[in-house]
Amino acid sequence: MKTLITGGAGFIGSHLAERLLDDGHEVIVLDNLSTGSIDNIAHLKRRPSFSYTIDSVTNEPLLAELIDRCDVVFHLAAAVGVKLIVEQPVHTIETNVHGTEVVLKHANKKKKLVFIASTSEVYGKSTDVPFREAADLVLGPSAKHRWAYACSKLIDEFLALAYWKEKKLPVVIVRLFNTVGPRQTGQYGMVLPTFVRQALAGQPITVFGDGTQSRSFTYVGDVVDALVRLAHDKRAIGEVFNIGNMGEVTIADLAARVKSMTGSCSPITYVPYDQAYEAGFEDMPRRVPDISKIREFVGYEPKLALDDIIRSVIEHMRAN
């Protein structure tokens, strides 16, 4: 199988590329390195079935050529991270919506299978936890930029499903829940690598808000395994799947675990949302997936528990 991964030099994309190569597939990576890093794929460069291009998905002639050479497109290129989203809402919307638009347009010419990476953010302020794929979505007002990311990814979903319904382009949508692991950075607000970096450096571990907000963290290897399984199951076409881990932890407890597991003397400090992001910032109180659908389709079960995930991030950061 020949695969194209947009955003393939990113955190998730690089792990997916590695797994596909190990499984004997050919991998082409397209990344403009805006949030990805060449270091993430440096160890793959010498593998004969791997190639990469540093450019954007908005380079349509190039994108058309790469899609023509592949069987499956994993579209992971996107603006990511709460910090980036709040600070650059125009970039967020344009990158996510237009990037997906051009991928779908060119994939449709020869009906190539496309995976659209969406997000748990689309559930918004819903209190119907755990989140189910068919549940109603509750977003905040358009005046609050925090919801621009969720809205842009939801448009991606609508557009992909429209291509499937109207043009029979095979698409699969995956909603990822706080994917974490080695190679992830805290540069754009990702909480676990930020906590680990602060703890290892002896800096204050900064919890935004009151710390009672909870999340479910999923190991990147489990996410990649789910993507590979779905790619081999034709029943997944036209469907939306949560990929996550139902284990739930408050951010305050996460900070305490990181401090304990690193043996750090760092204090845990609390920063109001207004100072961390912007005035009137809204957050999701809980984010827990219902994974019964993907379990039923491909037998997905997350393998790594939270402490093991934290340990893997600590070991990676210490080694690098």
DSSP 95-148: HHHHHHHHHHHHHHTTT-EEEEEEEGGGGBT---SSB-TTS--B---TTSGGGH
The token pair at 317 is: 């950061």
Q: What is the Cβ-side half-sphere exposure of residue 140, based on CA atoms within 13 angstroms?
A: 16
pLDDT band for position 80 (cuts 50, 70, 90): confident
The per-residue pLDDT for 237 is: 98
Residue 109 backbone phi and psi in degrees, to 5: -60, -35
Q: Which of 149, 163, 219, 300 is catalytic?
A: 149
The per-residue pLDDT for 189 is: 65
Average predicted confidence (pLDDT) for the chain: 94
Question: CATH no. for residue 58?
Answer: 3.40.50.720
Arithmetic mean of pLDDT, 26-36: 95
Please say if the pLDDT value at position 12 is more than 80.
yes
Please say if the pLDDT value at position 81 is more than 70.
no
The per-residue pLDDT for 59 is: 97
The per-residue pLDDT for 182 is: 94
The answer to the question of residue 251 being in a domain is: no
CA-to-CA distance for 197 and 200, rounded, in angstroms?
5
pLDDT band for position 317 (cuts 50, 70, 90): very high
The token pair at 233 is: 């199951």
149 given a catalytic annotation? yes
The answer to the question of residue 271 being in a domain is: no
Name which residue leads in pLDDT, 191 or 278.
191
In sequence order, the 6+-apart residues with CB closer than 8 A to the CB of 166 are none
Domain that holds residue 81: 2-180+218-246+288-302
In sequence order, the 6+-apart residues with CB closer than 8 A to the CB of 288 are 129, 130, 131, 177, 214, 216, 244, 246, 248
The answer to the question of residue 96 being in a domain is: yes
The pLDDT > 90 percentage for the chain reads: 85
The answer to the question of residue 201 being in a domain is: no
Number of domains in the chain: 1
One-letter identity of residue 154: L
Arithmetic mean of pLDDT, 105-128: 96
The token pair at 292 is: 């019964």
Instruction: Name which of 129-133, 194-198, 199-203, 283-287 the model is least confident about.
Output: 283-287
Please say if the pLDDT value at position 227 is more than 80.
yes
The per-residue pLDDT for 283 is: 86
One-letter identity of residue 110: K
The answer to the question of residue 294 being in a domain is: yes
The per-residue pLDDT for 188 is: 63
275-293 CB burial, b ≥16 within 10 A, e <16: ebbeeebebbebbbbbbeb
Arithmetic mean of pLDDT, 112-132: 96
Name which residue leads in pLDDT, 236 or 84.
236
The answer to the question of residue 65 being in a domain is: yes
Enter the pTM of the model. 0.95
The answer to the question of residue 110 being in a domain is: yes
The answer to the question of residue 273 being in a domain is: no
